[in-house]
Homo-oligomer: A and B are copies of this chain.
Amino acid sequence: MATIKDVAKEAGVGVGTVSRALSGNGCVSDDAKSRIDAAVKKLDFVPNQSARNLKTQSSAAVAISVPTVKHPFFAKIIYCVEDCLSKSGYRLIVVNSQDEKSKEIKILEMIRQARVDGIIFITHHAHEYIDGNMPIVSVDRHLGNGVPFVTSNNYDASRKAVEYLIERGATKIGCICGSTKVESEVSMRYKAYCDVMEERGLERYLEVADFKHGEEMDVTDRYFKKYPDVDGLFVGSDMLANAAYHSAMLLGKNVPRDLQIVGFDGVMDEWCPHPKLTTVTQNIEAIAEAAVTVLFKRIRGEKCENKTVIDAALKIGETTR
């Protein structure tokens, strides 16, 4: 495999000139440049990234840690982040933490091993010793210690969702959300529900459920047993909303006639063509882009906003009237 030295010899110049020509840092005469290009082509030269990394103390790679890729929301985040990074010549290393703290700690190690320049960290755990000085950004979670994060405007969007149910004539409005172990913007979703209910003097039918991926329909079945006659339901995620739809249908409820459902995320439509949920659609492309932008700032050591909010919009589907 040819090295920069071979190219230099072939082109009849010094290695420094080749390096400058290839990296674009510093000036090189057109004459030298064209001879170098020819030599590169002739020798089929490709710069060795490891050597570059060692010298520049960076890796042109970013890691993302998610509980599991096997979840539509995370899959889409990863898709968008990768798309964004590849445009800047960066690579994305994906790690499934499987919600295990020990695996997440390994990921944190990667920063120190110079295997990655930064980390996008989506976790349910608290990590004491990470702080805002490290090249880390989170999504939807407060990792604390000044770690910047990107999130949708969960509270406002959720209020709109609940108010929409009222507007469409629902009178007994319930809410199901997943619980979160760390302080998360996601909890704003049921907070908004509670606030709206309180303001309107309406009774609450709230369930904050602790469940695993795959147990969604158990949760919704249980909910309908407990509150059989709600006619409006705001659900904290589309996976759960989809489960609620099927639970309700199997119980003989007609959606949206007997029960209207509004979800949150806007990711299910890619996987399940039916039903088309009325749902708060997060702008995941924008979230990913913002996360990458903030992360790059952190990598360069620049100051950056601690919290970035991306607008989410209510999208009307077939589960409301």
Mark A residues whose CB is within 8 Å of B: 1, 46-51, 53-54, 57, 59, 61, 63, 68-70, 72, 75-76, 78-79, 82-83, 86, 91-96, 98, 103, 106, 109-110, 112-115, 213-214, 216-217, 239, 242-243, 246, 249-250, 268, 270-274
Give Cα A57–Cα B214 distance, bound, in whole angstroms.
42
Q: What residue of chain B has the Cβ atom nearest to residue A91's Cβ? A: B93
Give Cα A242–Cα B250 distance, bound, in whole angstroms.
17
Are A271's CB and B272's CB within 8 A?
A: yes
List 6 extra interface pairs beyond A50-B54, A82-B96, CB under 8 A: A48-B113, A48-B114, A50-B53, A53-B53, A82-B95, A216-B273
Give Cα A239–Cα B270 distance, bound, in whole angstroms.
10
Are A103's CB and B86's CB within 8 A?
A: yes
Q: What residue of chain B has the Cβ atom nearest to residue A77's Cβ? A: B69
Are B69's CB and A79's CB within 8 A?
A: yes
Cβ of A175 to closest chain B Cβ, rounded Å:
19
Give Cα A115–Cα B49 distance, bound, in whole angstroms.
6
The 8 Å CB contact of A96, one of B63, B68, B79, B242, is B79
Give Cα A109–Cα B246 distance, bound, in whole angstroms.
47
Give Cα A76–Cα B250 distance, bound, in whole angstroms.
28
Are A114's CB and B50's CB within 8 A?
A: yes
Are B46's CB and A113's CB within 8 A?
A: yes
Most B CB contacts (10 A, CB to CB) among A72, A75, A270 go to A75
Are B76's CB and A70's CB within 8 A?
A: yes
Give Cα A87–Cα B189 distance, bound, in whole angstroms.
37
For A57, what are the chain B residues with a Cβ–Cβ distance below 8 Å?
A: 50
Give Cα A243–Cα B269 distance, bound, in whole angstroms.
11
The 8 Å CB contact of A51, one of B47, B54, B95, is B54
Are B270's CB and A213's CB within 8 A?
A: yes
Are B273's CB and A243's CB within 8 A?
A: yes
Give Cα A296–Cα B47 distance, bound, in whole angstroms.
24
Are A272's CB and B272's CB within 8 A?
A: yes
Are B96's CB and A115's CB within 8 A?
A: no
Cβ of A252 to closest chain B Cβ, rounded Å:
14
For A249, what are the chain B residues with a Cβ–Cβ distance below 8 Å?
A: 274
Cβ of A272 to closest chain B Cβ, rounded Å:
4
For A114, what are the chain B residues with a Cβ–Cβ distance below 8 Å?
A: 48-50
The 8 Å CB contact of A94, one of B54, B59, B72, B94, is B94
Cβ of A283 to closest chain B Cβ, rounded Å:
15
Give Cα A69–Cα B61 distance, bound, in whole angstroms.
18
Are B271's CB and A113's CB within 8 A?
A: no
Are A61's CB and B113's CB within 8 A?
A: no
Give Cα A250–Cα B224 distance, bound, in whole angstroms.
25
Are B68's CB and A109's CB within 8 A?
A: no
Cβ of A179 to closest chain B Cβ, rounded Å:
19
For A92, what are the chain B residues with a Cβ–Cβ distance below 8 Å?
A: 93-95
Give Cα A214–Cα B76 distance, bound, in whole angstroms.
14
